[in-house]
Amino acid sequence: MLSWQSNFPVLGKTSRIMRIRKNRTPVVAAFSSPHIHQRSLRYAVLGAGFAGLSVAWHLLEPSPIELHVRVDVLDEIGIGGGASGVAGGLLHLYSPKVKLLWLAAKCWEETLRLLSIAETNNGVLNQNSNVFVARRKGILRPVVSLKNMSVMSDNAQNSLASCRIRSIDEDAARSLVPNIALPSNLAFYMPDAVNIHHQVYLEALYLACETLAKETSSVGLGEKEINFHISLN
Ligand SMILES: Cc1cc2nc3c(=O)[nH]c(=O)nc-3n(C[C@H](O)[C@H](O)[C@H](O)COP(=O)(O)OP(=O)(O)OC[C@H]3O[C@@H](n4cnc5c(N)ncnc54)[C@H](O)[C@@H]3O)c2cc1C
């Protein structure tokens, strides 16, 4: 068994991946070569937050069946030990001024896909309980500053069809949040936005990685494996 301290250089504080060849004998680069019986790849993912577990999933999911892949996730605290573990869980595509974020459409599509994978595995993890990964009731953003009102209204015109923004007045807002007061009589309602329970999501996504590794190992030639380690600095 390899020891982390001696064999894995730790690069830095944010989630990064390092690709490490386990087998140092020369290998042919093309996966389709008939001469390759088994290639072995070993990855270390530093940080078990939203980024790290997403990376772990994306290392396992597309890997060819003949490849032996081992992913080790390291975190000094635990799954969700950093910012991901305290996040409010508000999930949408817009800046505080409701401007569409960079690569929003692609990120939204992929995030919803990971969310649905986590939800499927949460069903296994929390059978017969009301523990949820996500609430889908939309998000309401009241306009609190008149200064930014026109900029926000312009930005809201450019919302994405898959994550819409509706401008609504106080009466309409009260049908969603009783007794809410809107000083500018304007709020932006994102009906497709989601609220994530961060810890449930992360645990379910880690389980999804384990399940995927087991399932692909049972049908392929190469084994897939994921392990979690508390790392010491
Ligand atoms: C209070 C708060 C509320 C937020 N609310 C929202 C929200 O509602 N919606 C939203 O989209 N975003 C929100 N965010 C931002 C969001 O939480 C972060 O953008 C996101 O969690 C970043 O994920 P990450 O995986 O990159 O980092 P992290 O979750 O911080 O993961 C990094 C991990 O690396 C580990 N680590 C660090 N250094 C080392 C080391 N040397 N060795 C081993 N492990 C190490 C840490 O323990 C940690 O678990 C919020 C942030 C905060 C702080």
Query: Which sequence spans correspond to the domains of the chain?
Result: 4-84+199-230, 91-196
Residue 113 burial (C-beta neighbours within 10 Å; 0-12, 13-18, 19+): exposed
Residue of 8, 45, 50, 194 best suited for mutating to test ligand 1, as the one with most atoms within 8 Å of CB: 50
Q: Which residues contact 94 (CB under 8 A, 6 or more apart)?
A: 100, 101, 155, 159, 163, 165, 190
Backbone angles phi, psi at 53, to 5 degrees: -75, -30
CA distance 99 to 102: 9
Rounded alpha-carbon distances, angstroms, from residue 70 to 31, 36, 63, 155, 215: 17, 18, 11, 44, 14
Residue having the nearest C-alpha atom to atom 35 of ligand 1: 47
pLDDT of residue 219: 82
CA distance 15 to 143: 34
Kind and range of the H or E element at 161? Answer: none
Question: What three-state secondary structure class fits 24?
Answer: coil
Kind and range of the H or E element at 187? Answer: strand 187-190
CA distance 190 to 159: 9
Residue 48 burial (C-beta neighbours within 10 Å; 0-12, 13-18, 19+): buried
Beta-bridge partners for 134: 196
pLDDT of residue 38: 62
Residues in the chain, pLDDT under 50 = 1-36
Residue of 4, 8, 10, 15 best suited for mutating to test ligand 1, as the one with most atoms within 8 Å of CB: 15
Span from the CA of 74 to the centroid of ligand 1 (angstroms): 14
Ligand 1 binding site (Cβ under 6 Å of any ligand atom): 13, 15, 46-52, 74-77, 81-84, 86-90, 231, 233
Residue having the nearest C-alpha atom to atom 52 of ligand 1: 87
Span from the CA of 201 to the centroid of ligand 1 (angstroms): 14
Q: Which atom of ligand 1 is nearest to the CA of 90?
A: 8
pLDDT of residue 37: 52
Rounded alpha-carbon distances, angstroms, from residue 29 to 40, 129, 205: 12, 47, 31
Span from the CA of 206 to the centroid of ligand 1 (angstroms): 16
Tokens coding 156: 């809201």
Residue of 18, 46, 92, 111 best suited for mutating to test ligand 1, as the one with most atoms within 8 Å of CB: 46
pLDDT of residue 34: 45
Residue having the nearest C-alpha atom to atom 4 of ligand 1: 87
